């Protein structure tokens, strides 16, 4: 303890007291200790280096030390990504559904007297020989045989078979289909029927009086004759006019508004449950 009594120690003690008090007093008065500030400035680059090295060491060590934690985090992130992807898919489905509902609303606005039922196509034809779609609506939803089915583009076909909660729709391009029609430009009345040859091209034939005035590009609408289709639904356009060599009759090839070659892209349809002026069903 002799050291404590030495002049040297007393000087050191005084210096230490000054070094403790001066910054404290300066700080109390809101002043900056220039010496402390200078030391901090000088040490700053070294501190920066130290921190960077510490970060590197920490990162290196944590690879081994936190392996389980990282693995767990990785799994959680994978799950989060999967969830987000599912959400994205859901959003896409909702987007499509939204577009479909807009179309549905458009059809309703165009045909206020129609009682419409929307349906989702749940399956397409099993083979390549017929244009038959299955929709998720049946008798429990009020669907009956021979009800017309339309899309936002135009006439698709009719209900050819109906079950409890499903129904089959036969397209207008099928040879079993026959629709009474008229053209918009001259009001020529005729019948659109499916043709086995044209079906593969997604087209159908229109028969009419040979003297009638029909041109390529004329629009064809349902006339409301017969018991299936209501009046005024757009069916298609005249694509060409040909003479049937066997019967010597003039026939027009009609290209339906509904693209029968791309039915896979069709998600939903509208079944017309009822309309003003309905005669059968």
Partner 1 sequence: MYGNKRVDAADKRMLVRRILVYGAAFFLLCTLQCSFFSRLKPFGAVPDITLGAMCGILMLDNKRAAAVCAVCAGYFIDALGAVPPSFSPLFYLLCVVILGAISDKIMPSFLSYAVLLVPTVILRVAFTFVNMWIYMKAFPAISVLWTVLLPEMLSTFVFCLPVYFVIKLCVLPIEAKGHFKF
Q: Work out which of 57, 63, 101, 261 binds partner 1, going by CB under 8 A.
A: 57
Which residue in 257, 249, 252, 254 sits closest to 214, CA to CA?
Answer: 252
Q: Looking at 111-177, which runs of residues are DSSP E strands?
A: 115-123, 132-135, 148-150, 155-162, 167-171
Q: Work out which of 46, 217, 277, 280 binds partner 1, going by CB under 8 A.
A: 46
Tell me how far CA of residue 188 lies from CA of 115, 153, 200, 206, 223, in angstroms. Answer: 28, 22, 27, 11, 10
Q: Does 145 bind partner 1 (CB under 8 A)?
A: no
Q: Report the nearest approach of partner 1 to the CB of residue 65 (Å).
A: 12
Contacts of 215 (CB under 8 A, 6+ apart): 185, 238, 241
When the beta carbons of 13 and 261 are compared against partner 1, the nearer one is: 13
How many beta carbons lie within 10 A of that of residue 115, not counting itself?
A: 14
Q: Work out which of 29, 30, 43, 205 binds partner 1, going by CB under 8 A.
A: 43
On whether the CB atoms of residues 204 and 172 are closer than 8 A, the answer is yes
Q: Does 39 bind partner 1 (CB under 8 A)?
A: yes
Helix, strand, or coil (residue 49): helix
Q: Report the nearest approach of partner 1 to the CB of residue 69 (Å).
A: 17
Mask for 4-23, x = binds partner 1 (CB under 8 A): x---xx--xx-xxx-xx--x
Site residues, partner 1 (CB under 8 A): 1, 3-4, 8-9, 12-13, 15-17, 19-20, 23-24, 26-27, 33, 35-36, 39-40, 43, 46-51, 53-55, 57-58
């Amino acid at each position: 303890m002799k050291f404590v009594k030495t002049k040297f120690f007393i000087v050191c003690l005084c210096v230490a007291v000054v070094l403790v008090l001066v910054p404290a007093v300066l700080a109390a008065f809101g002043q900056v200790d220039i010496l402390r500030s200078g030391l901090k400035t000088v040490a700053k680059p070294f501190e920066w280096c130290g921190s960077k090295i510490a970060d590197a060491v920490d990162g290196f060590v944590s690879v081994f030390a936190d392996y389980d934690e990282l693995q767990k985090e990785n799994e959680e992130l994978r799950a989060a990504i999967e969830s987000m992807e599912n959400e994205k898919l859901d959003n896409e489905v909702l987007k499509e559904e939204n577009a479909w509902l807009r179309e549905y609303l458009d059809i309703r606005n165009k045909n206020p007297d129609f009682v419409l039922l929307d349906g989702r196509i749940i399956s397409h034809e099993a083979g390549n020989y017929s244009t038959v779609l299955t929709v998720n609506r049946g008798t429990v939803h009020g669907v009956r045989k021979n009800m017309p089915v339309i899309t936002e583009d135009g006439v698709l076909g009719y209900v050819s078979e109906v079950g409890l909660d499903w129904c089959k729709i036969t397209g207008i391009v099928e040879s079993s289909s026959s629709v009474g029609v008229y053209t918009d430009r001259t009001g020529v009345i005729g019948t659109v029927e499916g043709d086995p040859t044209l079906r593969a091209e997604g087209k159908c034939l229109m028969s009419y009086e040979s003297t009638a005035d029909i041109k390529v590009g004329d629009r064809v609408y349902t006339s409301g004759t017969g018991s299936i289709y209501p009046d005024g639904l757009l069916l298609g356009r005249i694509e060409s006019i040909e003479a049937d060599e066997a019967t010597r009759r003039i026939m027009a090839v009609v290209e339906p508004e509904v693209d029968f070659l791309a039915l896979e892209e069709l998600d939903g349809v509208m079944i017309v449950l009822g309309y003003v002026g309905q005669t059968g069903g």
